[in-house]
Amino acid sequence: MKRRELLAGALGAAAVSVAGVKALRSDDRDVQASKKGPFKLKYAPSFGQFKNHAGTDLAAQIQFAADEGFTAMFDNGIMARPAAEQELIARELAKRGLTLGPFVLYADFKVKSFVTKDRDVRAMLRERMKQGVETSKRVNTKWALVVPGRFDESLAWEYQTANVIDNLRACLEICEPAGLILVLEPLNPKDHPGLFLTRIPQAYAICRAVHSPCCKILDDLYHQQITEGNLIPNIDQAWDEIASFHIGDSPGRKEPTTGEINYRNIFRHLHGKGYQGVLCMEHGQSRPGKEGERAVIEAYRACDDF
């Protein structure tokens, strides 16, 4: 073979090799990413979080999450879905062994509700609990999120706290026999001014007073970084009453690694404590489109690498 032909052949082979590498880095990147195995903890994407990869079909979204190694999902607004969609979600999650995290049962930020002694308000809350129990049965989850509403500027804080405890006990008369666990979410007063429940120690004291296995805390680490910080010590202090977590970095409420919270250390700490619950990925993404969705997944891979 002439030297010119040999050189041409070598260059052609190199071009094919480079093209193959480029194809692997783009078209096959998602396939390679899906072979990394399950995450150590139950990080839970929401429906629509990976829509640029999975589309809008609910079953396809569940399949994509499972292929990426996620073992849970969550849907704050699942109570508003038609019963047929709720049942489909439960069925598709069960097929793949995924857990459904807490859904929002009651979170009216505009009214004074749990802090009052109003009979009509209590009747409304109890009716809402009945609806939540029915939803939990259809979607096969045991957690439902409650935000106790606004505080009352005209009523002493201790009276308001007592009213919240009494109203929760009334709600649990409906939820407890069904095994539905109410998780109370404190929210930060900067983003949500005027709400009664803002801090983990406050939620802990209420749960201890209610004294029910079906009244627990949802620790939203984004909110608590803003309100009080000291995240790991507060987790440890309230551990017996924490049932679930929301994830979001601060500032910005985007994926882990985009803000100041050391999620790798937090996830290691939770894993070391034997945490088996769900960590809902309640945040946006720092970049748009498929690239942004892939960045979210890789951020969780990085923080799960402990």
The pLDDT assigned to 36 comes to 79
Task: Kindly report the pTM of this predicted structure.
Answer: 0.88
Q: Residue 226 carries which side chain, given as an amino acid letter?
A: I
Average pLDDT of the segment spanning 178-198: 98
Residue 174 in this model has a pLDDT that exceeds 90:
yes
Residue 151 in this model has a pLDDT that exceeds 50:
yes
Q: What is the pLDDT of residues 30-48, one digit of tens each?
A: 444 455 799 999 999 999 9
Residue 29 in this model has a pLDDT that exceeds 70:
no
